[in-house]
Amino acid sequence: MTTTARGVGRPRHTGQTPSISAREDILDHAARLFTSRGYAGTSTREIAEAAGIRQASLYYHFADKSAILGELLEQTVRPTVDKVDEIEQLAVAHGWATVLYILVLVDIHTLAVAPHNAGMLPRLPDVTSQPLYERSKTVRRQLIDAYDRIASHLADDRRQQHELRLGNLLLQLVEVVISVRRIGDTVNDTKRNAIAASALRICDVPQEQIWTAALNAERLVGQFI
């Protein structure tokens, strides 16, 4: 009689597709718990249980709860920051208005795909009080600087001297996506383009150039998303 060998141990039951790694599964469940219960109100044991693994298995992937939070914070900014240099290179052929339009679309995408609206994590008091939050602000500052740098090629010099840094204002505009997701609304193409066009208006870009930038972005943004 032929027998079939059985694998040792019980398979993980996470409700996730096989293509999702254990690490990604942990991050997904942690994001859901952090955004619904708060960072302080969530334990690694609860994250492990939600992911269908033992707590010891969670520590194989992450040293502690703060390491999970740190990666989630990175996911809301780092994917955009890592593409800034390449996006800025488009200025020679397509102009700075197109560069800003595309950067806004990429940043929106980063926030729109963050698991369980993890972009709201930096707004939670029990997250901002964590030591690692200061480290995450360094990456965020890089993004603000990029917006500032690009805006400097578009906005009137006198306006920039007398107003708050445009980088901060542009980032706050993009982060409207977090509020849109929070109320259960969809971040569709209409909203994405409305936000990008508004970013250019803030920088005093004429409407005709905004239309051109939008058309260029439609052709080019796919290589960054």
44 inside domain? yes
Task: Name every residue whose Cβ is closer than 8 Å to that of residue 52 and which is 6 or more positions away in sequence.
Answer: 12, 13, 14, 15
Within this chain, do residues 52 and 128 fall inside the same structural domain, yes or no?
Answer: no
Within this chain, do residues 55 and 158 fall inside the same structural domain, yes or no?
Answer: no
pLDDT for 43: 96
Q: For position 42, which CATH number holds? A: 1.10.10.60
Within this chain, do residues 151 and 91 fall inside the same structural domain, yes or no?
Answer: yes
Within this chain, do residues 37 and 142 fall inside the same structural domain, yes or no?
Answer: no
Residue 5 pLDDT greater than 50, yes or no: no
Q: What is the pLDDT of residues 145-204, one digit of tens each?
A: 999 999 999 986 545 544 557 999 999 999 999 999 999 999 999 999 999 999 999 999
Q: What is the mean pLDDT of the chain?
A: 88
Q: What is the pTM of this model?
A: 0.86
Within this chain, do residues 105 and 157 fall inside the same structural domain, yes or no?
Answer: yes
Q: 191 near 180, Cβ under 8 Å?
A: yes
Q: Last residue of a domain, which of 14, 36, 62?
A: 62
Within this chain, do residues 58 and 77 fall inside the same structural domain, yes or no?
Answer: no
Percent of the chain as helix, strand, coil, to the nearest 5: 70, 0, 30
Task: Name every residue whose Cβ is closer than 8 Å to that of residue 20 and which is 6 or more positions away in sequence.
Answer: 14, 28
Give the structural domain span for 117: 73-223
2 inside domain? no
Q: What is the pLDDT of residues 34-67, one digit of tens each?
A: 999 999 999 999 999 999 999 999 999 999 999 9
Please name the helix (run of DSSP H) or strand (run of DSSP E) that holds residue 189, with its range, or none. Answer: helix 189-202
174 inside domain? yes
Distance separating alpha carbons of residues 1 and 221, to the nearest angstrom = 60
Please state the length of the chain.
225
68 inside domain? no
Q: Number of folded domains in the chain?
A: 2
